[in-house]
Each structure stands twice: as C-alpha cells, then as structure tokens.
Amino acid sequence: MGTLPDDATWAVTEFAEAELGDLRRTQRVVELATVLAQRPGASLPEACGDRAMRKAAYRFFDNTAIAPQNLLDSHVDATLTRLAPVPLVLAVQETTALDWTTHPATTGLGPLGHPAHRGLHVHTPLAFTPERVPLGLLAQQVWARAPHDVGKRATRKQRPIAEKESRKWLTRLEAVLAARVECPQTRLVSVGDREAEVYELFALERPAGVDLLIRAAWDRCVTQLEHYVWATVAARPVAATYTVQVPRRGAQPPRTATLAVRWGPLTLCPPCHRQRERLPTVPLWAVQAREEAPPAGTDPIEWRLLTTCAVHTTAEALTRVDWYACRWGVEVWHSIWQSGCRIEARPLETAERLQRCLPLSSGIAWRIFSATMLSRAVPDGPCTALLDLEEWQALYCAIHRTPTPPATPPPLRQAVHWIAQLGGFLARRGDGEPGATVLWKGFQHLTDLTSMYCIMRPVAPKRKKYG
C-alpha cells in the first residue's frame, strides 16, 4: 500500500485487508474509500474528480468477482481490533430501509413499507462503548423483499422462525458471538428495540460474556403471580428516577423527561400457540423506565426492558437503562449514512453494484460519527487519533491564518470543533458540542484545505552530500 496518498491512512486501516483475489483490487478499494470520504455527499463523478478515477470506480462496482462481504470483512477486522482492549461493548442492532424509488431503472430491488417504494433492507449491529463512542460494524445483512412477501404479517404466528424476517436477530447474534471468540476479554451485550423481542432469541444458548438487552414489545405470560410482564413490572415500587433529553419531534420542542425506574426478576413462558414445540421457560430481569407526568399533549416515554444481565441493585437497573439509551446512536449513524453520505442518491443501476458500495459508505459514515463522539469521550486526547499529520496541520493553519503549524498536535476536542467550524458551526459559548451534520460538511472542506496545504507548504532543502 506504499503507493497510496498520505491522507488514505484511515482507509488503509479499514479496507486494506480485503481479500479480493488481486492486490490491485484492494488498492482500488482503498483509493475509492479515500476519495468518497473526502466528499461523502457528492455524486460519484464529482467525488472521483478526473475521468480515469471515475471509470475505475464504475468498473470496480460492476466487477462480479468482488464480493461485498469481503469488503465488509476488512472493516469488521479493524472493528475487532478496536474492541479487544475494551472491557464492555454494546452491540446495538437495527434495521433500516434504503429507498431508490427515485431511480426506477435500478434492478434487483424489492418493495419497502409501501409497495410503490423500491429499495433494500439493511440490518446492522454497530459496536459502541458505554460512553457511546462507535467502534465500527460487526456485520451487515442486506436483502430485497420478494413482491409476494408483502402482506404476510397476518400469518406470522403460523410460520416458523426460519421463514420470517425476524430470524435476522438470530443470525446477526452470530456476529456478536464471533466477536466474543476473537475478543475473549470483552463482554458484549446485544441491544435491540421492540422488533428484536423474539422468543427464540431469549431461548438461544449463549456463552458466558454475551448478554441480551431488548425492549419488550409483547405482554407475555410469566410464572410470577401477576401472570403477565406488564403487571409484574408495574407491581414493583419505584426505585429511582432517570433523566433523558428528548429531541425535537415535529412541532414539539426538545425537553427533559424524568423517568420512574422499576425493576425485578421474572421468568418468561413460551407462547401458548407453540406448546407442542416444548420451548423452555427463560429467566430474565425486567427494568421499566416510565415518564409518570408527561407534558400535556405528549405521549409518555416508556421503556420496558428485558435482559439476561443480572440486576440485583438499583444502580445496576439504572446502568441497563443507560445502556439502552445508547441505541439512539445507531439511528444517528443511519442518518449520516443516508443524508450525509447520500447512499440513496447513488444511481448504480443494479442492486449488486449498490451492495458493493454499501460497505464503503458504511465505513465512511462510521468515521464521521466516530469523530463526533470520540471528541466528547476523550476531549483531551491527541487529534492524531482522528486526523493524519497533514490534515491537522492544514486545519490549524487555516483556522489561525498562519503558514506555520505548531510542533505538537492540538487536543481532539479542539480539532473537532475547528472541523465543525468549517462546516458552519459557530462555536459560541452556549452552542454545546457540534453534531454530525456540521462535521460531515467540515470534513469536505478539510479535504480541499489539506490538498492545498500539501501543494503550497515549503519543501525542506536537501542536504548536500560530501565525499
């Protein structure tokens, strides 16, 4: 990889281990990741710049010998390297729909929520530290629904799990189990929303060091005196309160919500209509966080959480709520992926080509999100954790309007604020921390600044050789 430009360091880390059958293909994917990251929201021709790079990009995405999984595996390996020293990792799983309805010529797509909309469904486990710093993807499952699958929800209870889309929760848990094998010192907790509340998932055998934290969707039967999950949790006394910041929702302004927390053990019973399968009962812990006095005209926030993680104290119950609150991070990542990287604007004409583009854009979205959260978690760390030498030097010189950078790199939080300023962040005293939108805009400006800095900086004179 010695022929690659200096600003491709992050792309080398994420994609240089891709096994694509030819070293030149691996070099090409690193080059593509680099140029797309420089202008994540640009069209492919605009991002590639010259005609040669543009043709190479289209040939790469059209190459049937390149398996999308091999591209993703390289990033997953880099993610596992970041996981290894972390004692606890939250594997937050979520499904999103990518809509290419505005590109009707694209083949291989399937119906989305509305049959008139066409696209792909993507299920991704994203690894986070408890401090909400994203470490990268653990896997990614992509599929197009068949047209005849629309309307099958009514028969879900009659079909085995192998015939349902909900089996993705079981198959993607395999990625979490694989991560545990590769990182035996790391405890992993798979976190899912109500869609993940599948009885087979709770009943699945798991090794020590892998747990589940799922938001309950169904008022299932339990062995306790109250007979059902909701009543069992409601019978518990309020043990503590938990404060959560609620973002703006439509016409409702952002607000602070106070949730009452209850917790206790319970044992789930198998669904009544599946008694013949002799499914086992499942001992779990339940944690409820409910807004007791919501503002007028708003629905109360309520999280009913079921977990295999032991909850013996109120402090542990609050920790489980805090872990679940990390789930918003995967939604932010989806927003960066779809809006910042504009993956749904790629007119690559076939689903196969799009699937070769998804791992690259996923990694780029992760990098932007990682910058946002890493600067909050370790603000005083060196910015070299995020930026290459030329990048932070160009950034410093542009912000301070000086041709000479300092000898040592600035702190991470300061550098991220400067990047955000390039994207429109005002950095006023009451503005708080910059978000992902101004950062992805700032990264685009930083690319141009770095290129010009490398061209214009003085070249050190060569030493004369004597003798």
C-alpha 11/C-alpha 37 separation (Å) is 9
Least confident of 219-223, 309-313, 423-427: 423-427
The yes-or-no verdict on residue 3 having pLDDT over 60 is no
Whether pTM > 0.85 for this model: the answer is yes
Across 51-167, the runs of DSSP E, i.e. the strands, are 88-99, 110-111, 118-128, 134-137, 141-143
Least confident of 163-172, 196-205, 252-261: 163-172
C-alpha 345/C-alpha 15 separation (Å) is 23
C-alpha 300/C-alpha 302 separation (Å) is 6
Give, in order, the Cα–Cα distances in Å from 222 to each of 131, 232, 285, 457. 34, 8, 12, 70
Tell me if 191 sits within 8 A of 218, measured CB to CB. Answer: no
Q: Which of 18, 23, 22, 51 is nearest to 33 (CA)?
A: 18
**CB-side neighbour CA atoms (13 Å) of 393:** 17
User: Taking the mean position of all CA atoms in its chain, how far away is CA 297?
Assistant: 32
Q: What is the pLDDT of residue 121?
A: 94
State mean pLDDT over 81-89.
Answer: 96
C-alpha 463/C-alpha 109 separation (Å) is 61
- Scanning the structure block, which residue is given the tokens 């991220």? 416
Q: What is the pLDDT of residue 147?
A: 81
As assigned by CATH, the class of the 86-147+165-337 domain is alpha beta
Q: What is the pLDDT of residue 465?
A: 44
User: Taking the mean position of all CA atoms in its chain, how far away is CA 369?
Assistant: 8
259-282: b (≥16 Cβ within 10 Å) or e: bbbbbbebebbbeeeeeeeebeeb
Between residues 408 and 151, the one the model is more confident about: 408
The yes-or-no verdict on residue 110 having pLDDT over 90 is yes
Q: What is the pLDDT of residue 182?
A: 96
Least confident of 154-168, 286-300, 413-427: 154-168
Q: Tens of pLDDT along 183-193?
A: 999 999 999 99
Q: What is the pLDDT of residue 459?
A: 60
350-364: b (≥16 Cβ within 10 Å) or e: ebbbbbbbbbbbbbb
Q: What is the pLDDT of residue 161?
A: 64
Q: What is the pLDDT of residue 5?
A: 35
Q: What is the pLDDT of residue 322?
A: 95
Least confident of 93-97, 129-133, 424-428: 424-428
The yes-or-no verdict on residue 438 having pLDDT over 90 is no
Q: What is the mean pLDDT of the chain?
A: 88
Where are the domains positioned within the chain? 86-147+165-337, 378-456
Q: What is the pLDDT of residue 149?
A: 64
Q: What is the pLDDT of residue 13?
A: 92
C-alpha 30/C-alpha 5 separation (Å) is 10
- Scanning the structure block, which residue is given the tokens 């593509």? 32
The yes-or-no verdict on residue 427 having pLDDT over 90 is no
Q: Tens of pLDDT along 363-402?
A: 999 998 998 888 888 899 899 888 888 889 999 999 999 9
State mean pLDDT over 107-122.
Answer: 91
Q: What is the pLDDT of residue 150?
A: 60
State mean pLDDT over 291-318.
Answer: 93
The yes-or-no verdict on residue 452 having pLDDT over 50 is yes
As assigned by CATH, the class of the 378-456 domain is mainly alpha
Q: Which of 304, 220, 202, 297 is nearest to 261 (CA)?
A: 304
State mean pLDDT over 246-250.
Answer: 75
Across 56-209, the runs of DSSP E, i.e. the strands, are 88-99, 110-111, 118-128, 134-137, 141-143, 187-192
Q: What is the pLDDT of residue 168?
A: 83
Q: Which of 316, 287, 285 is nearest to 222 (CA)?
A: 285
Least confident of 139-143, 152-156, 327-331: 152-156
